[in-house]
Amino acid sequence: MFFDPVYMLFVLVPSLILSLGAQLFVRSAYGRWSRARNSAGLSGVQVADRIFRRTRVAPIPLESAPGELSDHFDPGKNVVRLSRDIATVPSVASMAVVAHELGHVEQYQSQSPLIAMRSFLLPAVQFSPTVSYLLIFLGLILNAVNLIWLGVIFFGLVVVFMLLTLPVEFDASRRALRLLHESGLIITADDERGARQVLTAAALTYVAAAVTAVLQLLYYISLASGRSRD
């Protein structure tokens, strides 16, 4: 498929452009605001503590995460993991990233229906990509249209999951800004502007991934439809 000019023109090239553009925006926003000190002078860990104390988000453990921008909320173990720079540096970027992860925590604690639907699909999505690629590949080799369509269905689960991820991430960012305001961490215009830019940049990576998945699905559907007509 990588040698199919249709795939390269309508899937591979647009996907690379979207992914590269999103990553550049993230690096630019994070690079700028990771050097800007937040007005409260609090590190990521201290930001989390302030939010726990001043909002309705119930405290949960914080752990370290290796690497850069590897911060995430693990709902299975009910823990937020923070990379070293986010945890220890009192920057605007740290403040925004921590608030975003605690936005996810609030989603789970408030039993958000969006997060419930996404969690419901998670077990299936963990093996769907591998199964879909295998079925589509075998279907093409064996000229078995039914296998190709079955692979398309499995990949469709991945697309649904990624599309559901978008409102989950947007909602977490919306909650993040509210949590920062409620806890008194947005003090100046730069705090507000920087937090918004970092959160927007992070959201664009999910948009790029979702668009890529949709393009792949449309390509697989075209393959299956073409074989069905043969």
Model pLDDT, residue 126: 83
- The pLDDT tens digits for 21-55 are 999 999 999 999 999 999 999 999 999 999 999 99
Average the pLDDT over 177-195 and give the result: 97
Q: Is the pLDDT of residue 230 over 70?
A: no
SS3 labels along the chain: CCCCHHHHHHHHHHHHHHHHHHHHHHHHHHHHHCCCECCCCCCHHHHHHHHHHHCCCCCCCEEEECCCCCCEEECCCCEEEEEHHHHHCCEHHHHHHHHHHHHHHHHHHCCCHHHHHHHHHHHHHCCHHHHHHHHHHHHHHHCCHHHHHHHHHHHHHHHHHHHHHHHHHHHHHHHHHHHHHHCCCCCCHHHHHHHHHHHHHHHHHHHHHHHHHHHHHHHHHHHHHHHHHC
Output the pLDDT for position 22: 93
- Bridge partners, 91 (sequence order): 37
Range of the domain at 120: 5-229
> Of the listed 101, 106, 169, 192, which one is catalytic?
101
Is 192 designated active site? no
Average pLDDT for residues 86-115, to the nearest whole number? 96
Domains of the chain: total = 1
What is the model's pLDDT at position 107?
Answer: 96
Q: What is the pLDDT of residue 32?
A: 97
Task: Supply the pTM of this predicted model.
Answer: 0.91
Percent of the chain's residues with pLDDT above 90: 83
Say yes or no to pLDDT of 87 above 60: yes
Q: pLDDT at residue 1 above 70?
A: no
Average pLDDT, the chain: 93
